Structure 1
Amino acid sequence: MGHAQSPHGLDRRAIPQRSSTWAARAADLLAAARIRPNHISISSIVLGALAGVAFALSATESTGARIAWLLIAAATMPLRLLMNMVDGMLAVEKGMSSPTGDLYNEVPDRLADVFVLAGAGYGVSGLVALGRVDVGVALGWSAALLAVLTAYVRSLGAAQGVKNFFAGPMPKPIRMWVMTAAALVSMLEPALGITRGWVIVVGLIVVALGSLATVIIRLRLIAAALHAKAAS
């Protein structure tokens, strides 16, 4: 995905919805209520944890209860993305940034990624095993690690004096939409004749492989930018 330079000098991912009327109105209401961007950033952990717990609890529940937990997971992930967008709007457009804003922007997001993806892995535990290794759990943690690594590599560009690189097929919004779709389609597995949990397994594989590709692409872009900077 592309990036945008904010008036305050912060690299931000380009989000079309940020310029929408409803988003601006939401930011106005939150600013009027004196809700700080850092408070909204913390909500990412809460929503990520809720999604992860919902995924995990769906593993042992009956069909009806499982659908309810998957609906909760599917609802909280887009809400997390909304909070991520609004906190940036408050910080930049409303001038409510703080010296610790970057910490609040990054750390809760990384924890939320881990909660969502690891939780999804536990949600398909017991489905496949290789020896003593539960493939679902291992896949969830692998996807979580690679998701965190995409963000680390992205910020590494800025730390090296070039910029944040948002390129790659599996940035945070795509990760969340993939898992949202997996949660929704997983509810239909019995009707589709698919073994319970396999749709979420496929979602985790897509996130893991896409995140790995994203890490490689971003590292190559950073290396090219550093070579260009050294040559100039």
Structure 2
Amino acid sequence: MADDIGRRPIPARQMRITQAAARLMAARGLTPNMISGFGLAAGVGAGTALALTQVFPEAARALWLAAAVMVLLRGLSNMFDGMVAVEQDKGTATGALWNEVPDRVSDVALLVGAGYGLGGSPLAGWLAACLALLVAYVRAIGVLAGAPADYRGVFAKQQRMFTVAGLAVLLAVAPESWRFTWGPGGAWGPMAAWLWIMVPGTAHTALVRLRRASAFLNQADHQ
């Protein structure tokens, strides 16, 4: 198996079923870039479904569930593109670009879509999206400077993805009486509340990563 240094730690990679699935994908001719492209489509689809809950409130429950499913598919794509590239030795020269750029587009689509959705806050969605990009940028620039890749943080990518998906599932199945309203004109709901929690949490994640990278580089400079 290839070295896992620099890859996001995902325990599910070690499961026999996921390893078998990666082998099957490689055998069927699926490339890592194709899997990354599918993940991008799922990520944008999830954000679109969340935004459409505001346009079609009568279909909001179905749209929230659809968004949650597409977030899961995006997460699986994020895992399998790397597994096919590394474990199955199918990596390409453009693999790093396909691994990172679709993720950033998906991050923005998901969080902005949540902000424009039913009970969301567009401002919080945009702020959360910008800070998600900052978190990824800090990791990337830290690696370029010589620090190890840092995927940790209270609001790293996986936490952002799956907490939004979890809230979408809750909104889809919970009674309408659970959907409290607050904010300007009572237009905000549970999704806005979570996005406003995510904003400082994501900023904290970026700051902590920056501090870790700085500490590592300073220590290395004095050795």
TM-score normalised per structure 1:
0.88
C-alpha separation in 1, matches of 2:102 and 2:2 = 24
C-alpha separation in 2, matches of 1:210 and 1:66 = 27
Partner of 2:184: none
C-alpha separation in 2, matches of 1:94 and 1:7 = 9
Give the number of the structure whose residues are more often helix, by fraction. 2
C-alpha separation in 1, matches of 2:175 and 2:193 = 13
Query: Which residue of 169, 194, 210 corresponds with 1:184?
Result: 169
Could you list the runs of 5+ residues in structure 1 that have no partner in the other structure? 1-5, 128-134
Query: Which residue of 75, 92, 95 corresponds with 1:98?
Result: 92
Q: How far off is 1:207 after superposition?
A: 2.5
Q: How far off is 1:106 after superposition?
A: 0.4
- CA distance 1:204–1:189, change in 2 (3 Å): farther
Offset from partner CA, 1:142-173 (integer Å, 9 cap, x none): 11111111111111111101211112111111
Q: How far off is 1:189 after superposition?
A: 5.2
Partner of 2:180: 194
C-alpha separation in 1, matches of 2:180 and 2:39 = 32
Partner of 2:42: 47
C-alpha separation in 1, matches of 2:126 and 2:12 = 31
% identity of equivalent residues: 37
Q: How far off is 1:197 after superposition?
A: 5.5
**Which region of structure 1 is more displaced relative to structure 2, 141-150 or 199-208?**
199-208
C-alpha separation in 2, matches of 1:52 and 1:228 = 41
Query: Which residue of 11, 14, 28 corresponds with 2:9?
Result: 14
Q: Which amino acid aligns with 1:106?
A: E
Q: Which amino acid aligns with 1:175?
A: R
Partner of 2:56: 61
- CA distance 1:177–1:9, change in 2 (3 Å): closer
C-alpha separation in 2, matches of 1:197 and 1:20 = 41
TM-score normalised per structure 2:
0.91
Give the number of the structure whose residues are more often strand, by fraction. 1
Partner of 2:73: 79
Structural RMSD (CA) = 1.8
C-alpha separation in 2, matches of 1:70 and 1:107 = 25
Partner of 1:228: 219
C-alpha separation in 2, matches of 1:137 and 1:19 = 39
C-alpha separation in 1, matches of 2:188 and 2:68 = 15
Could you list the runs of 5+ residues in structure 2 that have no partner in the other structure? 182-186
